[in-house]
Amino acid sequence: MKTDLPVQQGKNYEIHIERLGTSGEGVGRYENFTVFVPNALAGECVSARIEEVKKTYARGRMTKIHTQSADRVQPRCEIYIDCGGCQLQHLSYEAQLAAKRRQVVDAMTHIGKLPHVPVRETLGAVSPWNYRNKMQFPVGIHQGRIVVGCFAQGSHRIIDTDDCHIQREGNNELANAVRDIVAQLRIPIYNEDTHRGVLRHIVGRVGKDDELMAVIVTTVKELPRRKEFIRMLRARLPRLVSIQQNIQTYRNNVIMGRDTVLLWGKPTIRDTLGKLSFHISPRSFFQVNTAQAEVLYEQALQYADLHGTETAIDAYCGTGTITLFLAQKARKVYGIEIVRPAILDAQKNARDNGIKNAEFIVGDATKVMPSLYKQGVRPDVVVVDPPRAGCTPTVLKTFADMKPRRIVYVSCNPATLARDLAIMKDLGYAAQEIQPVDLFPQTSHVETVALITRANW
């Protein structure tokens, strides 16, 4: 088959890698044609076998390194190449932080057309390993044996692991214990192709003082051999304080269903962020890296520049973590969230921490904020922490219409942050600086906090 493209599927080419892509893959060119090469690093010259060809780019599998980057290191994890959980273990941690800053700079330059907004050095973790307080591992069968772990890159094939190096140790112990116990008890494993079986996922959460919560996600309401399962799991895990069963009957990729049953122990575990304490239930949102979440929220608080007299709005407040941080320094804070169960968690968190100057409202920010404005609420600061898709133009216009002196934008996606900052510029608000924070070491993800102020204020 003739093609005008310079590369062909199945053939090897020598590629010079120029930079890292947003998913951590190497990005290079062959005769000015873009080629993505996973596990290759900026500055390297590699050979790659082309596995996919599109009109404007190709993807290849690295077969040889001709010129190696000085930043390349030996991955700690033995299954790293196959597993899709991490993308940057082969890059030194210092270089990971630099690459994440570069990802933000590139987004500001090419997407936001805001090349002059200062992007600070990425705030790294004290320990870039064993930081995840939450585990969500699928369970399956491979060659007749039970496997528990992450999916392989770009597939639903489960890579079995007994020691994930980014999980807290309690979560690894839980995964290994459940794998052994369900094998002994012959509890059927779910098959996503046939939609048969019982056990779909193992969810673990580690809280303060290493308290451990186990959540078994099943397709049925009654867990087979329930009493034996509970007894054996408790005997295996001395720090276990909660065993729960979540029922997910639908034939889809959503991990958890609506209904959760407490099988044994406490309904929640606790964790702390700064001076604040939080109850965590199986479906509660809580940042997976507790130590770095404190760094992120303290940065947001610093940008908010509160002195005790201000009114603030947290426009996507979730379970109220940022809201309660702001409430420690503000006169009044309104938390807005469209998900009612999250607001109920936020209200409980406020009560548990003795915070009385935070008010939580269920609803769409685009409707709630104009309503507050009509009631005479004039926020000095608006904080926003939206999903990866960012904010809609209507939401951003609503922020601008309320005329806060500062907007603090917390983002998990540099591309949508850049897009939204460009929109805010047209609405009279200028980005002053951006602080990247590394909440997810060894992966390609980066969180940012941006300070935005009203022009000519």
pLDDT digits (tens, 9 = 90+) for 248-272: 999 999 999 999 999 999 999 999 9
Radius of gyration of the chain (CA): 24
CA distances from 105 to 5, 23, 453 (A): 31, 15, 19
Sort strands 158-160 and 134-142 into parallel, antiparallel or unpaired: unpaired
Active site residue 412: yes
Contact indicator for 274, 215 with CB cutoff of 8 Å: no
Residues of the chain with CATH 2.40.50.140: 12-67
Q: What is the pLDDT of residue 1?
A: 46
Which residues touch 428 (CB under 8 Å, ≥6 apart)? 400, 454, 455
Q: How confident is the model at residue 455 (pLDDT cuts 50, 70, 90)?
A: confident
User: Position of tokens 């007894």?
Assistant: 231
Between 284 and 294, residue with greater pLDDT: 294
Which residues touch 68 (CB under 8 Å, ≥6 apart)? 44
Residue-wise DSSP of 229-244: HHHHHHHH-TTEEEEE
CATH topology of domain 134-269: OB fold (Dihydrolipoamide Acetyltransferase, E2P) (2.40.50)
Q: How many Cβ atoms sit within 10 Å of the Cβ of residue 399?
A: 25
Q: What is the pLDDT of residue 339?
A: 87
Q: How confident is the model at residue 3 (pLDDT cuts 50, 70, 90)?
A: low
Residue 456 has pLDDT above 90, yes or no: no
Q: How confident is the model at residue 112 (pLDDT cuts 50, 70, 90)?
A: very high
For 105-125+289-454, CATH gives 3.40.50.150
Please give the average per-residue pLDDT across 317-333, as a whole number.
95
Please give the average per-residue pLDDT across 57-84, as a whole number.
95
Please give the average per-residue pLDDT across 118-147, as a whole number.
97
Residues of the chain with CATH 2.40.50.1070: 134-269
Residues of the chain with CATH 3.40.50.150: 105-125+289-454
* Arithmetic mean of pLDDT over the chain: 95
Residue 379 has pLDDT above 60, yes or no: yes
Residue 56 has pLDDT above 60, yes or no: yes
Residue 75 has pLDDT above 50, yes or no: yes
Please give the average per-residue pLDDT across 293-304, as a whole number.
97
Q: Is 134 helix (H, G, I), strand (E, B) or coil?
A: strand
Residue 240: Cβ-neighbour burial (10 angstroms; 0-12, 13-18, 19+): buried
pTM: 0.93
**From 45, 83, 391, 412, active-site residue:** 412
What is the crossing angle of helices 365-374 and 393-401, to 10°? 20
Q: What is the pLDDT of residue 4?
A: 82
- CATH architecture, domain defined by 12-67: Beta Barrel (2.40)
Please give the average per-residue pLDDT across 424-433, as a whole number.
97
Please give the average per-residue pLDDT across 360-388, as a whole number.
92
Q: How confident is the model at residue 366 (pLDDT cuts 50, 70, 90)?
A: confident
pLDDT in tens, 190-229: 999 999 999 999 999 999 999 999 999 999 999 999 999 9
What percentage of the chain has pLDDT greater than the value 70? 99
Q: What is the pLDDT of residue 457?
A: 55
Residue 85 has pLDDT above 60, yes or no: yes
Q: How many Cβ atoms sit within 10 Å of the Cβ of residue 392?
A: 14
